[in-house]
Copies of this chain bind each other. A is one copy, B any other.
């Protein structure tokens, strides 16, 4: 009978290794620790947190080291169920594993070991690892990948019948081309039975050139002791690599960008050309919205049903587009609320603004939201019509149905009354000045 027979009810502990400094990602002293470097709007470890959370762990230990206080603070706010475990000094992955297991001394069940700097790890590969580990009742299971050239990664040696033989580090095989020719590599991501793992990590020694303890040696000990080591080949081998430099960060960015786009499309969002569209994490888009090419939507934006964004549109943090709103080319929207059916289709900047239902913001309109010291709000009422080239100097309001003329400058505090038309630099209400009427003809550009 399988020792793992209890299936999903069997407890699961996650160990996340997140102590690294990430020297090659650290341009200056004030840059964040590696796992808090941002990718598509959230830290690397947040992507990992989302992937592993699907496994439903009962315990989570995160091993921190470099700038541990900053990582611990992030964990406290964003991953409160995780137990931070300080690794100081950092003596290798085996050492980190020893500390993590010591932090959950009473834990019995499966232990999955992952890295905080593998943001693009596929949730389905993680689930595959754990499922196979349990189905096979393995003592240790290694998640492997197959690629044409694993370069510096450890190679997986199998016996002729396919069973695990051992892991050989690339640097230990420099003069053995037959080993280097092996295309199956060790991801460093494992599932263990806690009962087998504890004695295996207790037996680790640092008798190597670096004087460190390695998690791979724990796998070797388990195999040497005659326990069962299984292998699971990942379906997304590109998603197993750690992020150690800017190029690897860019690779992870590309994978996550495509995955985020695919998720939106699977829920009924049209993304016309995912290759030329960037959508960060934590963007809400309702089914039926259309995202045109060359669009960049940052974290925290919300887009309603039937809204259309792009091409060449940039939605920044907290931009909210209600149903049927349209944001067109060369338009930037930041921290603004765009009402149902409202439009801003060309060469416009809306910052700290609200645009009412059905309002039309012409071409080349600017909300001047910054006075050199503070940001101020612009309110554009429902059905208002903002003429092309208008600058709205915040704080300012355009009333319901109000209109501004082309190249008008509506100065701070000089609100446009509902239904009124203003023109000129600075803008004056028509009928209250001697300004000729010609410039007021609700001029605006439209597509």
Contact = CB atoms under 8 A, between A and B. Distances in A.
A367 interface: yes
B330 A332 contact: yes
Contact of A391 (B253, B351, B389, B424): B389
A391 B408 CA distance: 11
A278 B278 contact: no
Shortest Cβ-Cβ A-B pairs, 9 listed: A370-B446, A411-B438, A27-B288, A246-B265, A368-B443, A391-B406, A393-B443, A426-B439, A247-B265
8 contacts: A245-B266, A294-B312, A312-B314, A368-B387, A368-B388, A371-B441, A371-B443, A411-B439
Most buried by B among A311, A442, A443: A443
Most buried by B among A250, A360, A369, A442: A250
A257 interface: yes
A269 interface: yes
B268 A27 contact: yes
Contacts of A393: 388, 406, 439, 441, 443
B278 A254 contact: no
Contacts of A32: none
B372 A444 contact: yes
Nearest to A254: B275
A409 B440 CA distance: 10
Interface in A423-447: 423-426, 436, 438-439, 441-447
Contacts of A405: 409, 425
A346 interface: yes
A363 interface: yes
A28 B249 CA distance: 39
A329 interface: yes
Interface string A274-314: 11101000000001100001101000000000100001101
Contacts of A265: 245-247, 250
A425 B405 CA distance: 10
Nearest to A257: B273
Contacts of A364: 347, 349, 364, 366, 391
A436 to B, nearest CB: 6
Nearest to A438: B411
A54 interface: no
Contacts of A247: 262, 265-266
A332 B332 contact: no
A91 interface: no
A74 to B, nearest CB: 20
A412 interface: yes
Interface string A234-271: 00000000000111011001100100011001101111
B253 A273 contact: yes
A158 interface: no
Contacts of A278: 273, 276, 293-294, 311
Nearest to A389: B391
A272 B363 CA distance: 29
A412 B441 contact: yes
A131 interface: no
B346 A446 contact: no
B443 A316 contact: no
Contacts of A413: 438
